[in-house]
Amino acid sequence: MGALHEGHARLIERARGESGLVVTTIFVNPLQFDRKDDLEKYPGPLDADMEVCRRLGVDLVFAPPVEEMYPQPLACVIEVKRIANHLCGAFRPGHFAGVATVVMKLFQIVGADKAFFGEKDAQQLAIVRRMVKDFNVPIEIVGVATVREPDGLALSSRNQRLSEAERKQAVALYRALQEAERQIAAGVTDSTEILRLARAVIPPDPALRLEYLEIVEPDEMQPVATVAGAVIVAGAMWVGSTRLIDNVKVQRTGE
């Protein structure tokens, strides 16, 4: 969705290494915003984004205006069911219907063999993979690992909206995820206890509001009561007026 950073660059580099021709799509999709003010504040520096694409050897950039993607009100959208019931889907009504619809449109327009998505939004990645399977779309979905700042903060276009003080506070979400990861590595399997200890890492600060912290299985994004095998610990936190998401995938030792 534009405001390209090193996380996006990693997607492009991965695509460049695996593909004969690389297309980058840049589109701030109004369908997936549940708050008008969030859409209005979303950064859109297209000239800078184009320069990033040039530097990384992108062959084509598809950056359509809203009127081209949605020339008339949509009569058909993709409904996302069970897989969107938790995590972000519980707090952003209609968000994943907007994501799935625009991604399907982009797949149809571009006609790619592979599409590269960041693992930072694990729920989005799971939904896109399921959509491709359910609708027999002939495209391979490739997940690319989250890129982080030296202190662990996941790169995000929304980070640009953080003040200097908020930027320092924002790493609290990743530290909570790390604590959950440590507890699982230590052999704790009860999700309630793991999440209690992880939440305790977030300092009691009025600028920080934890929206959710959950442990889910990786495919259907359903909460698990007991950790066994691979799980995703995912969270969303408000830092001031900016909402950030992050996750870690954990494999229980010995599984």
Residue 86: active-site member: no
- Determine whether 55 is exposed, middle or buried from the number of CB atoms within 10 Å of its CB (0-12, 13-18, 19+): exposed
Q: Which of 5, 8, 86, 95 is catalytic?
A: 8
Amino acid at 155: L
Residue 40 has pLDDT above 90, yes or no: no
The pTM (predicted TM-score) of the whole model is 0.95
pLDDT at position 234: 98
| Per-residue model confidence as pLDDT tens digits over 47-58 | 999 999 999 999
Give a three-class secondary structure readout of the chain: CCCCCHHHHHHHHHHHHHCCCCEEECCCCHHHCCCHHHHHHCCCCHHHHHHHHHHCCCCEEECCCHHHHCCCCCCCCCCCCHHHCCCHHHHCCCHHHHHHHHHHHHHHHHCCCEEEEECCCHHHHHHHHHHHHHCCCCCEEEEECCCECCCCCECCHHHHHCCHHHHHHHCHHHHHHHHHHHHHHCCCCEHHHHHHHHHCCCCCCCCEEEEEEEEECCCCCCECCECCCEEEEEEEEEECCEEEEEEEEEECCCC
Mean pLDDT confidence for 95-112: 97
Which region among 24-28, 42-46, 167-171 has the lowest average model confidence (pLDDT)?
Answer: 42-46
Residue 144 has pLDDT above 60, yes or no: yes
| Per-residue model confidence as pLDDT tens digits over 109-140 | 999 999 999 999 999 999 999 999 999 999 99
pLDDT at position 252: 81
Q: Which domains does the chain show, CATH number per domain?
A: 6-144 (3.40.50.620), 157-251 (3.30.1300.10)
50 φ, ψ to 5°?
Answer: -65, -35
pLDDT at position 227: 97
Mean pLDDT confidence for 27-41: 90
| Per-residue model confidence as pLDDT tens digits over 157-206 | 999 999 999 999 999 999 999 999 999 999 999 999 999 999 999 999 99
pLDDT at position 44: 80
